[in-house]
A = this chain, B = another copy of it.
Amino acid sequence: MTETPHDISERAQHMLKVLIDRYIRDGQPVGSRTLAREAGLNLSPATIRNVMSDLEELGYIRSPHTSAGRVPTVQGYRFFVDTLLKVQPLDSLSVEQLRAEFDMSMAPKELIEATSGLLSGITHLAGVVTLPKHEQAIFRRVEFLPLSEKRVLAILVTSKGEVQNRIIATERQCSASELQQASNYLNEHFTGKDLTAVRDTLLRDMQEARSTMNHMMATAMQMADQILEQNRNEGYVMAGQTNLMEFHELCDIDKLRNLFEAFNKKREILHLLDLCVHGEGIQIFIGDESGYHTLDECSMVTAPYQIDGRIVGVLGVIGPTRMAYDRVIPIVDATARLLGAALKQKD
C-alpha cells in the first residue's frame, strides 16, 4: 500500500483509472461524488477530493472550470494506456469472426480497402491502412496492347500480384509485332529482376542505343517508377470518417472541417503513420502528442503489419482522445496480424 511508483500511490492510480474509464464511457467531467460511488473503496467524496487534488497537481487530470469535476489530461491518458491499462488479446472466437471478414480472393488493393472499412466498422472510429510497401518489387511481366492508331495500353505486373496500367501515346502507329517484340525483349531480359535494377538498366540502355523501342521502354520505366513510388510511401486508405461526427467533443464544425481536410491532404497523417512503422508494435498518439494541431482532440492507435516478418505497412484507427482504448487496441493488433497473413498469400 505504501508502494508509490511514479510518485503516485496505488490507491490514486486506481482512482485515476476509474475516473478515466468513467470519462471514456460518457464524456462528462467526473466529480468526487461520482468517483466515490464508482471507485468501490468506501471512501467519502472529501477523501476522494484530496486525492484528485494530488492527481491534478501531478498533471494527470484537470478541471475544465472551478466546478465541473475532472477530465484526464493528455499526460493522464498516457499514464493510463502505458501502465494502468491491462490489454488482453482478443479472445479466439472474436479473432475467428474477424478472420472470416477477410476475403482471400481480393486483390491486395481491395483487401486494404476492405480492412480499413472493417476497422472503422468494428470500432466506430475512422479506420486507416497504409498501402503495403515492398522493399523490392520484382519485375514479372510487361505487356503492350494496341488500343487505337497511336495509343498503346501498357500493363506491368510485379510480384505480389500488383498490376499497373497506363496508356501511352506513340508518335507513330506501332504494329502488333513491334509491340510484341518490345514486350518480349523486356520480359526475356528482366523477368524476376528487382524493379529498381530494371529501372537502372533501362535507363542505361536507353542512353546507349536509341532503339525504336525507346518510347515503350520509357513508359515501362515510368510505370516502374510509379510502382516504386507507391511502394515507398504512397498513401493510405481511410474509412468511416463520418463516425467521428458522433463525438460531441469534435462537433465544432471548423475542427471537423480541418480534420477532414487533413485526411484528404494526407501529408500530415502519412507522416505520423510513418513514425508508427518505425516504432515497434502498437503505437498510440494521444492528443497533441502528434504535434499536429488538427489532431489535438484526437488519438491514433496503430499497429504495423508484416509479411514474412518484414513490416510493410501500418494500420489503425483515429478517434477522439476519449476512445475505448482497451477495446480498440486488441482489435487493431489482431487486424494487423490478419491483414499481414492475408497479404502473405498473394506473394
Contacts and interface: CB of A to CB of B under 8 A. Distances in A.
A157 B156 CA distance: 13
Contacts of A106: 166-167
Contacts of A140: 145
Interface in A165-179: 165-169
Copy tally for this chain in the complex stands at 2
B107 A167 contact: yes
Nearest to A347: B148
Interface residues of A, number: 36
Nearest to A261: B242
Query: What does DSSP make chain A's interface, helix, strand, loop or mixed?
Result: mixed
A141 B145 contact: yes
A272 interface: no
Interface of A: 104-107, 140-141, 143, 145, 147-148, 151, 153, 155, 157, 159, 161, 163, 165-169, 241-242, 245-246, 251, 253, 256-257, 260-261, 264, 345-347
Given A151-B346, A153-B157, 13 more contacts: A104-B167, A106-B166, A107-B166, A140-B145, A141-B143, A145-B157, A147-B161, A151-B161, A151-B345, A153-B161, A155-B163, A242-B264, A246-B257
